[in-house]
Amino acid sequence: MKMRFGTCFIMMMILTATVSAQSKKFVHNKTDLRIQSQGSFLVGGTTLTTAGTFDVDNALKPEGQTFHGDHAYVFYQVPRKAKKLPLVFLHGAGQSKKTWESTPDGRDGFQNIFLGKGYGVYLLDQPRRGEAGKSTVEASVKPVTDEQFWFTQFRIGNYPDYFPNVQFPKDAYSLEQFYRQMTPNTGNFDAKVVSSAVSQVFDNIGDGILITHSQGCGPGWLTAIQNTQVKAVVAYEPYSGFVFPSGEVPAPIQSNGLFGALSGVEIPLADFKKLTTRPIIIYYGDNIAKDPTNVWNKDHWRSGLEMAKLWVAAINKHGGDAQVVHLPAIGIYGNTHFLMSDLNNVAVANLLAGWLKEKGLDK
């Protein structure tokens, strides 16, 4: 009996120590924010209806019933004395609005940073993702052990090694938080479905600035084409979805990345010219190859950066105002694919804030 009591006591002490150690790794932010209003809403999407008449006595039958899906979920906060143009944030592949919230190690993300700078902030979950999970098309969600691939793909390092200069916290807790923020599609990714919903966000809130990340950048261009209330587009590390005028699509950029060559998308010139009517800026981080290499993650993003430069040249050729900023070229080093949550994310945010001021978008 004494043996059992002693064993239980030791186990409880170990458990208590473990919980205590875990709790010490989370620190509440102490940002002093004055919020005038906040809330959430769902926008866009479609409605499916099954033919027939609804029978309340047979309510489990689908006849006469509806299904609302493919909308976006929006959480917003507006500070006191907010600037005229709010910021609308759209995440990338496998992500949700969490991208823009607190960082994996618990620091302020772009949500709080830009609220502190006086901007209204709208965080989106795109259709078929996160809190906008009601999809009108079927999908299977399977548990796939692939997190070490994403560690490498997102340029934290070449697993298990971190890049020497990486701006990602190297403690186990932060890495686990990063893995856990990944979230699956509940239906196939469809850029047109996403851009339609995002466009309706702007119909709802009025003029604003669209800030996109990774896979979300392609729908971002389509949203700007659809909606003149998008007054500027900021893109963090786009890879796919670069649109070019008919007859001006560049040759595919070969890559040793796991997804092969990168190709542009052809659209009518009239649609492309709509992208020339507002300022656009693209940011890329570090550890991207300058020349072709067999280091597949670095080469994958080399092709994205090269395509972005061709795309910006096409925009400016047609009278637009676009630029690519490669952070190492201006002395900012070590950024991963998630520049907005890296250890130097305040410096990254200040860079964007300076551009918004330069373009007169910070009034």
Give the start-to-end residue ranges of the domains of the chain.
35-43+71-358
Instruction: Please give the average per-residue pLDDT across 100-124, as a whole number.
Output: 98
One-letter amino acid at 191 equals A
Confidence of residue 6 (pLDDT cuts 50, 70, 90): very low
DSSP secondary structure code for residue 262 in this structure? B
| pLDDT at position 169 over 90 | yes
Higher-pLDDT residue of 133 and 1 is: 133
Confidence of residue 29 (pLDDT cuts 50, 70, 90): confident
Higher-pLDDT residue of 304 and 15 is: 304
| pLDDT at position 17 over 90 | no
Residue-level pLDDT at 182: 97
Helix ranges restricted to H, the chain:
2-24, 110-116, 147-153, 172-180, 191-205, 217-226, 269-273, 296-317, 345-358
| pLDDT at position 216 over 70 | yes
Decide if domain 35-43+71-358 falls under CATH 3.40.50.1820.
yes
Higher-pLDDT residue of 20 and 176 is: 176
C-alpha dihedral, 153 to 158 to 164 to 170, nearest 10°: 80
**CB-side exposure of 348: number of CA atoms within 13 Å?**
31
Rounded Cα distance, 251 and 230, in Å: 30
Judged by DSSP in three states, 243 sits in strand
Judged by DSSP in three states, 282 sits in strand
Confidence of residue 25 (pLDDT cuts 50, 70, 90): low
Residues 6+ apart with CB under 8 A from 114: 87, 121, 349, 353
Confidence of residue 26 (pLDDT cuts 50, 70, 90): low
Q: Are strands 46-49 and 66-69 parallel, antiparallel or unpaired?
A: antiparallel
Instruction: Please give the average per-residue pLDDT across 278-294, as a whole number.
Output: 98
Judged by DSSP in three states, 22 sits in helix
Instruction: Please give the average per-residue pLDDT across 16-33, as a whole number.
Output: 58
DSSP secondary structure code for residue 329 in this structure? G
C-alpha dihedral, 302 to 306 to 312 to 318, nearest 10°: -160
Confidence of residue 27 (pLDDT cuts 50, 70, 90): low
Nearest to 76 by CA among 38, 110, 118, 20: 38
Rounded Cα distance, 75 and 123, in Å: 5
Percent of the chain with pLDDT over 90: 91
Residues 6+ apart with CB under 8 A from 170: 162
DSSP secondary structure code for residue 129 in this structure? B
Instruction: Please give the average per-residue pLDDT across 194-199, as a whole number.
Output: 98
One-letter amino acid at 254 equals Q
Rounded Cα distance, 333 and 288, in Å: 11
Q: Is 165 exposed, middle or buried (0-12, 13-18, 19+ CB in 10 A)?
A: exposed
Count CB neighbours of 213 within 10 A.
Answer: 26
